[in-house]
Amino acid sequence: MKTALLLGLLTGIILVVGYWLAGFAGLVIATLGALAMNGAAYFWSDRLALAAMRAQRVTAHEAPELTSIVSQLATAAGAPMPRVFVSPLTQPNAFATGRNPEHAAVCVTDGILRLLTPRELRAVLAHEMAHITNRDILLSSVAAGLAGIITSVAQFALFLPFGSDEDDAPNPLGTLLMLILAPLAATLIQLSISRTREFEADADGAQLSGDPLALASALQKIEAGVRVAPLTGATPASSSTAHLMIANPLSGDAMSSLFSTHPATADRVRRLLSMADEPSMRRGLITPYHPEHIV
């Protein structure tokens, strides 16, 4: 219900911004252009994300333990076996991509393979499998597309003439505010959807693996690892994949935390620990770790 309301609000913003800028004609032109660009991004989003991470596909012969875990989780989830990729990045992270379970891929970095125990890695991959079975990648594509439309329509104001007639000319201050606030609103709504989906993937992944404590431990280790080896700078490549990853890969400050695509790790761990309090899920204790021990 929350997702439907948020997407409905995005659509409403599109209509209001387009009509305010240039009436119905301006809305139609901007919407068609943005739909065409985001339609292409929808069909090729997996290739773009994997290329941005310089990921290479691995086989069962090349990575037997990794592919075996993914295969077992896919079978348990009743989903097709996704393609498995490894990125050479030293930062510990993982993500799933693809427009549906039949065209899905799971990618892990070299950093996360070195950092996590097999138990923790399995929990992380269960989280990513939950994203696939929940069709979160499709939802992210739709949200990103609608947000892109709002941004495109708002930027269209840059090319509108003010005209000689003062009554017919757009208000310069209003145009400036629209250029700033429309993309901001789209981004905030998209991030809200992403954060909601991360909580759900945590819960569903913990159910799939039966090990919420392992996922809680992995999330804490990954957060520490990201601080040690952040993806510095919000480049187009890093920005395009940041919302897909299990942890925000960008270096954080107060502003980037505000626009983070992920909920706070402490909140995620707290929820997972509450799941682990159930007797059927008690599997052990979270092992202590220290950032300086990360290789």
Which tens digit of pLDDT belongs to each residue from 168-177?
A: 555 565 566 5
pTM tops 0.85, yes or no:
no
User: How many Cβ atoms sit within 10 Å of the Cβ of residue 172?
Assistant: 9
Which is nearest to 91 in space by CA: 205, 278, 245? 245
Residue 256 has pLDDT above 70, yes or no: no
Higher pLDDT, 2 or 103: 103
Report the pLDDT value the prediction gives residue 196, as an integer from 0 to 100: 82
Contact 67, 60 (CB under 8 A): yes
Pick the catalytic residue: 120, 128, 166, 200? 128
61 is in an annotated binding site: no
Contact 186, 256 (CB under 8 A): no
Report the pLDDT value the prediction gives residue 135, as an integer from 0 to 100: 86
Contact 274, 203 (CB under 8 A): no
Q: In sequence order, what are the residues at sequence separation of 6 or more whose Cβ sits closer than 8 angstroms to the Cβ of residue 99?
A: 42, 43, 45, 46, 137, 138, 141
Report the pLDDT value the prediction gives residue 161, as an integer from 0 to 100: 58
120 is in an annotated binding site: no
Residue 197 has pLDDT above 50, yes or no: yes
Higher pLDDT, 129 or 236: 129
Q: Which domain holds residue 142?
A: 2-160+169-293
Alpha-carbon torsion, ordered 214, 219, 224, 230, to 10 deg: 140
What is the rounded CA–CA span in Å between residue 115 and residue 69? 16
Catalytic (active site) residue 128: yes
Q: Coil, helix or strand for 87?
A: strand
Q: What integer best gives the mean pLDDT of the chain?
A: 76
If you search the block for the tokens 């739909």, which residue do you land on? 35
What is the rounded CA–CA span in Å between residue 182 and residue 14? 9
Report the pLDDT value the prediction gives residue 252, as an integer from 0 to 100: 53
What is the arithmetic mean of pLDDT over 243-265?
Answer: 68
What is the rounded CA–CA span in Å between residue 294 and residue 221? 8
Tally of domains in the chain: 1
Which is nearest to 247 in space by CA: 220, 208, 207, 217? 220
What is the arithmetic mean of pLDDT over 219-236?
Answer: 75
Strand arrangement of the beta sheet that strand 56-57 belongs to: 56-57, 83-87, 105-109, 94-97
243 is in an annotated binding site: no
